[in-house]
Amino acid sequence: MARVHVTTIINDDPVDFLCDTEQTLLDVLRDELRLTGSKEGCASGDCGACSVTLDGRLVCACLVLAVEAEGRAIGTIEGTTKIFGSCCIGVWCVYAWIFGSRKVLVGAKS
Residues that bind ligand FES (CB under 6 A): 40-43, 45-50, 60, 62
Q: How far apart are CA 94 and CA 23, in angstroms?
A: 25
Nearer to ligand FES, 7 or 41 (CB): 41
Of 46 and 70, the one with the shorter C-beta distance to ligand FES is 46
SS3 77: helix
Residue pair 59/68 in contact (Cβ under 8 Å)? The answer is no
Q: From residue 77, how far is each of 20, 103, 108 by CA, in Å?
A: 24, 14, 19
In whole angstroms, the minimum distance from the beta carbon of 71 to ligand FES comes to: 23
In the complex, what is the shortest distance from the CB of residue 63 to ligand FES, in angstroms, rounded to a whole number? 7
Cβ closest to ligand FES, residue 63 vs residue 84: 63
